[in-house]
A and B are shown apart, each in its own frame.
Chain A
Amino acid sequence: MRVLAAMSGGVDSAVAAALAVDAGHEVTGVHLALSPDRQTLRSGARGCCSVEDAHDARRVADELGIPFYVWDLADRFREDVVDDFVAEYAAGRTPNPCLRCNEKIKFSAVLGRAQALGFDAVVTGHHARLSDGQLRRSVDAAKDQSYVLGVLRPDQLASAMFPLGSMTKDRVREIAAERGFAVASKPDSHDICFIPDGDTRGFLARTLGSRPGPVVDAATGATVGEHDGTYGFTVGQRKGLGITVGDQRPRYVLGIEPVSRTVTIGTQDLAGIGEVRTGVPTWTGPAPAMPFAAQVQLRAHAVPVACEVAPGANGGLRITLAEEQRGVAPGQSAVLYEPDAQRGDRVLGQATVETPCEREETVRH
């Protein structure tokens, strides 16, 4: 097959490209330039869009003897990922930009362009298993990235290749070292690539400016403090509230109301969520028959919980959780899995959390 390897300059995508070459595909490497003002050198362990990262990717491509190009998708990335990220926070929600990037950039803009140019598939270094159109968790549970791929539709998955899903991250680094790739020991990238200093709150403050509002205690309805912008908070957050309420018990963010800019906080007993209502779901395969039992993961790196999924309002889902969860924020993605210890939990699909609520009825099973 003619395969386009998306190469960030990191070790994962380098090994993924190498494995695609080994598999006999005709591989072309592409580095995506996503940042409008690219740094010359990478700063810290974050980001993947510096000129140095492009150089690292090119070094690997040259070693593999494959063509390599840089595609400038900075405009698309800003519109579809960064602007969306800012708008979501401004609306009191907590988005996942990596998921949005996979949905709109890697497996839409890039894949579409690749197909138009005659490529059959896009290969990436994501840690997830994909075979027969079924997307599953990586064998390396700690590195599993199936959550941020949960938004992909069958047609996108049909043209995707994830060669790393069946191996651990340690093995990926071993392969890179065996091949003499300089990126073998390059640190993993963390956090959000377009916020290289890792200070999300600072980034939002610079972008959105000061938007003060009250912090209200849920139990009493009393205003217990002020804040500079709701974007500094995420539902479920406990640390960094900077507010002490009389009884000294820890408080959690329970809700964010963007119009009045009210942040509501409350004690742990109020923070639990028993049911999640979502927007319109996407499915990785045929839509399952409702209702059905599944596991749901409510944010990246969260522990999945058993749930029952039923139709909700306006084409969305109503997901009833077997155990109450904290930190379920609107805007996050609820990714549904079918547990499978043998072959890896299978991703069924996902939907964006609209309203987390207290449990209205007891879960039946």
Chain B
Amino acid sequence: MTYLDHAATTPVLPEVLAAMAEQLGRVGNASSLHASGRAARRSAEQSRERLAEALGARPSEVLFTGGGTESDNLAVKGLFWARRQADSRRRRIVVSPAEHHAVLDSVEWLAKHDGADVTWLPVEPTGRVTPVALAEALGDGRDVAVASVMWANNEIGTVSDIAALAEVAREVGVPLHTDAVQAVGQVPVDFAASGADALTMTGHKLGGPMGAGALLLRREAECTPLLHGGGQERDVRSGTLDVAAIVGLAVATVAAVGSREERAARVADLRGRLVDGVVDQVPDVQLNGAPLDDRIASGPGRLPGNAHLSFPGAEGDALLMLLDARGIECSTGSACSAGVARPSHVLLATGADTDRARSSLRFSLGHTSTDDDVEALLEVIGPVVERARRAGMNRR
């Protein structure tokens, strides 16, 4: 099996597995006052401190959640509600149309059910949001509740300059949330240095468990809870702490951030070979997103493991099926819960036409990727594209 879908999820690190298995074998609710409870709390709090350190945050800024979707929902809705509560004029949300659905659908829900007005940020053809565009959309910021721009795009891998964007937002007093699910462990991420007010991250994209994530939230940021109950996480998020998952999340984050530089260089090199090899066989293939060697102030302008390609005349889901049948696993980007392929909203947001969006595939490399994986893809991609082109675009 050739796994080229690390952006969907990446294999759990062995040290994560070991740490979680050990923790799962222990009894103890981190909210209990007795010895078992204290031991569990100690594990959770050590994890909080380690995760905070790895990401340039203070421990009190780490809210453990059930993953990226919950963190995005909590940040967007929670900041919107709290800011509007403080000043009823703040009804506007400024957001990029290339965000993950966890952000987009939260924003659209607020617009539909809770009186939010949405200002969609223009994105460059690379998918990047510029500080100028954000400044223009925010205006004087007085009517804006929250702005949200992802650190790195999950489909096309484009990195935005969050520090520059946060500065713009700060000037007009608007909190900036950033979905950094794809960025952590791939590009340098420092919460304090970024100036963002809230940051979403999750475990299973960097070698940790699924269902465990965090929202980094500045101490002074007011955020209305989604989940009410025991108030475990700063009264912003309730629910018994999943200590084993939290331990796994922290171990994975520390490991991924620690090995980032070396791994990113290796993975980027493999990715370059992958793209070059595909171009050799399919000369008219189109690279979506930023150039492979793109740079921004904070570092790489594109995720090192991301290759997002459009194959004119072929359908993404046909390509995916043919590759799957040959043991190569990749992704077409957006899929709804029923698995119906839709043209990628990210590509459409960058100005690509429907055909280009429908003909795209995402290959994403990660910590277990090897030369053999790239070779396996290059062995079959030519004939697969040819066959998919014969099947044509399945629409008239």
Residue ranges of A at the interface with B (Cβ–Cβ < 8 Å): 28, 31, 33, 38, 51, 54-55, 58, 67, 69-73, 75-76, 79, 109, 113, 116-118
Contacts and interface: CB of A to CB of B under 8 A. Distances in A.
Contacts of B341: 70, 72
B340 A70 contact: yes
B133 interface: no
Contacts of A38: 338, 340
Contacts of A79: 396
B321 A73 contact: no
A73 B318 CA distance: 13
A58 B341 CA distance: 15
Interface centre among B317, B322, B394 (most CB of A within 10 A): B394
Contacts of A116: 387, 390-392
B339 interface: yes
Counting from the closest, the 8 A-B pairs by CB-CB distance are A116-B391, A70-B339, A51-B338, A54-B338, A72-B340, A116-B390, A117-B391, A33-B340
B113 interface: no
A43 to B, nearest CB: 16
B105 interface: no
Given A75-B396, A113-B394, A117-B318, 16 more contacts: A38-B340, A51-B338, A58-B339, A67-B324, A67-B325, A69-B320, A71-B317, A72-B340, A72-B394, A76-B395, A79-B396, A109-B394, A116-B387, A116-B391, A116-B392, A117-B322
A339 to B, nearest CB: 41
Contacts of A28: 321, 325
A67 B328 CA distance: 13
Contact of A117 (B321, B337, B395): B321
B388 interface: yes
Contacts of B322: 117-118
B387 A117 contact: yes
Given A28-B325, A75-B396, A70 B391 contact: no
A117 B394 CA distance: 12
Interface in B314-332: 317-318, 320-322, 324-325
Contacts of A55: 338
A51 B336 CA distance: 10
A47 to B, nearest CB: 14
Q: With a 10 A CB-CB cut-off, give which of A31, A69, A79 has the most chain B CB atoms.
A: A69
A269 B294 CA distance: 83
Contacts of B394: 71-73, 76, 109, 113
Contacts of B396: 75-76, 79
Contacts of B340: 33, 38, 70, 72
Contacts of B395: 75-76
B387 A69 contact: no
Interface string B114-132: 0000000000000000000
B116 to A, nearest CB: 24
Contact of A69 (B317, B342, B391): B317
B193 to A, nearest CB: 43
Contacts of B324: 67
A147 B390 CA distance: 33
A71 B341 CA distance: 8
B182 to A, nearest CB: 25
A130 B385 CA distance: 34
Contacts of A54: 338-339
A70 B394 CA distance: 13
Interface string B367-396: 000000000000000000001101110111
6 contacts: A51-B337, A71-B394, A72-B340, A117-B321, A117-B322, A118-B387
B251 to A, nearest CB: 31
A273 B111 CA distance: 60
Given A75-B395, A113-B394, A70 B387 contact: no
Contacts of B342: 72
A75 B390 CA distance: 20
A51 B324 CA distance: 23
Nearest to A50: B338
A129 B238 CA distance: 60
Interface in B33-75: none
A79 B394 CA distance: 14
A33 to B, nearest CB: 5
A116 B324 CA distance: 16
Interface string B242-258: 00000000000000000
Nearest to A38: B338
Contacts of A117: 318, 321-322, 387-388, 391
B5 to A, nearest CB: 15
B97 to A, nearest CB: 22
Contacts of B321: 28, 67, 69, 117
Interface centre among B320, B339, B392 (most CB of A within 10 A): B339
A250 B342 CA distance: 53
